[in-house]
């Protein structure tokens, strides 16, 4: 039975599959694999299938089934893939449906021949939110030796990604009538003092692929009425560490800046990932794509969940189309990625 990755991608786009609701997409992909005489395993909202000699080292191909929810600004139905031969439109077409179906294509091609080592394909849930996806699947992937994570990188090779810290600053004051501010303690004023120090922070050491660490204040709330001195102000921030400025250092520096309030690191476990450039999987990808850019991945991906083995992020599609209105991916991009994945598998397997 022949397989058309573009047809599968169009079917995926038609499905509602935000994080937490990937069952229909899971069943669709599992059915396609079963149609090709493979035996996929269903683990929650995840699909896992493998081929190759039992007990041998494994190369993982992973991409995610879930999407964000469609935001404002769409000029077409996010669930309509369209009929354009050169593009597949719709939510999740670029992030990361194109990578997922290209990996299925490469996996099916490899399933028709004998391999010297194991090849594992996982299509997982909850990548956009975290939860029950690759993090839950990973402990059951025995003897994993390397990983390719499918995300839109325009086929740039990304052996590194920054970490993630979400922090909250809480400043407490004392209420008073706004006409008598000296009788109270303004929590917003205290927050401004703390934020001024936080925003003046710099991270001078740059990582070769990831560049500088960054931080930003992304939300702030405070006050109850125009005529009341506020007794509470809360701000939320986002920090992206690198190996040059790791998580603990960034949390400590931000905490040190805060004099009026308290800092809580709500999410700080996701550390940077930095795969050595001389690892087999990086060399395999560079051999297949000698002219490709080698850079850091701009966001946070499931690469973190396989940080214990050498891994890269690589896939078709443009990063700027992700989470954007009128998302799309080129059909040629998907077919090229399938060929690239096949050749990376062959190169990596050839070193066994």
Q: What are the helix (H) ranges across the chain?
A: 5-14, 23-35, 98-110, 134-137, 187-199, 247-257, 280-288, 331-350
pLDDT in tens, 30-72: 999 999 999 999 999 999 999 999 999 999 999 999 999 999 9
The pLDDT assigned to 113 comes to: 93
Instruction: Find the angle CA(38)-CA(41)-CA(336) to the nearest 5 degrees.
Output: 60
pLDDT of 1 strictly over 80: no
CATH fold group of domain 164-270: Alpha-Beta Plaits (3.30.70)
Q: What is the pLDDT of residues 102-121, one digit of tens each?
A: 999 999 999 999 999 999 99
Quote the pTM value. Answer: 0.95
Q: Are 234 and 220 in contact (CB under 8 A)?
A: yes
| Mean pLDDT of all residues in 162-171 | 97
Q: What is the mean pLDDT of residues 150-165?
A: 98
**pLDDT tens digit sequence for 185-223:** 999 999 999 999 999 999 999 999 999 999 999 999 999
3-class DSSP assignment, residue 324: coil
Per-residue pLDDT at 190: 97
How far is Cα 221 from Cα 193, in angstroms, rounded to an integer? 15
Across all residues in the chain, what is the average pLDDT? 97
Domain residue ranges in the chain:
5-161+272-350, 164-270
pLDDT for 111-155, tens place per residue?
999 999 999 999 999 999 999 999 999 999 999 999 999 999 999
pLDDT score at 351: 76
Report pLDDT for 248.
97
Whose CA is closest to 103, among 312, 284, 337, 318? 337
Question: Model confidence over 258-312: pLDDT tens digits?
Answer: 999 999 998 899 999 999 999 999 999 999 999 999 999 989 999 999 999 999 9
| Percent of the chain residues topping a pLDDT of 90 | 97
Whether 5-161+272-350 shares its CATH topology with 164-270 is answered no
Strands (E) in 139-289, as ranges, are 144-149, 157-161, 164-172, 214-222, 232-240, 262-270, 273-274
Per cent of the chain over pLDDT 70 is 100
The Cα–Cα gap between 308 and 94 comes to 27
- What homologous superfamily does CATH list for 5-161+272-350? Zn peptidases (3.40.630.10)
Residue 337 CA to residue 316 CA, distance in Å, equals 6
């Amino acid at each position: 039975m022949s397989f058309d990755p573009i047809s599968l991608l169009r079917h995926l786009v038609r499905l509602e599959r935000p994080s937490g609701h990937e069952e229909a997409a899971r069943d669709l992909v599992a059915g396609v694999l079963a149609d090709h005489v493979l035996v996929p395993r269903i683990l929650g909202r995840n699909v896992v299938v493998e081929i190759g000699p039992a007990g041998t080292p494994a190369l993982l191909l992973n991409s995610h089934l879930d999407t964000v929810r469609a935001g404002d600004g769409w000029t077409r139905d996010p669930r309509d893939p369209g009929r354009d031969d050169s593009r597949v439109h719709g939510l999740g077409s670029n992030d990361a449906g194109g990578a997922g179906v290209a990996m299925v294509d490469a996996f099916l091609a490899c399933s028709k021949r004998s391999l010297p080592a194991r090849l594992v394909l996982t299509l997982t849930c909850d990548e956009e939110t975290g939860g029950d996806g690759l993090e839950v699947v990973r402990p059951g992937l025995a003897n994993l030796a390397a990983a390719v994570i499918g995300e839109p990188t325009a086929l740039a090779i990304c052996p590194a990604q920054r970490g993630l810290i979400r922090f909250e600053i809480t400043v407490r004051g004392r209420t008073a009538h706004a006409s008598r501010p000296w009788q109270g303690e303004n929590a917003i004023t205290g927050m401004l003092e703390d934020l001024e120090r936080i925003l003046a922070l710099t991270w001078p050491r740059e990582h070769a692929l990831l560049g500088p660490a960054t931080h930003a204040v992304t939300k702030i709330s405070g006050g109850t009425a125009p005529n009341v001195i506020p007794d509470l102000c809360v701000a939320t921030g986002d920090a992206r560490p690198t190996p040059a400025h790791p998580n603990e250092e960034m949390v400590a520096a931000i905490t040190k800046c805060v004099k009026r309030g308290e800092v809580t690191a709500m999410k700080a476990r996701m550390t940077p990932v930095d795969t050595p450039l001389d690892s087999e999987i990086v060399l395999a990808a560079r051999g297949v794509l000698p002219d490709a850019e080698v850079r850091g991945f701009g966001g946070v991906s499931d690469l973190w969940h396989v940080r214990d083995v050498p891994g890269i992020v690589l896939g078709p599609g443009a990063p700027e189309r992700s989470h954007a209105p009128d998302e799309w991916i080129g059909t040629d991009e998907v077919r090229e990625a399938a060929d690239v994945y096949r050749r990376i598998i062959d190169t990596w397997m050839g070193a066994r």
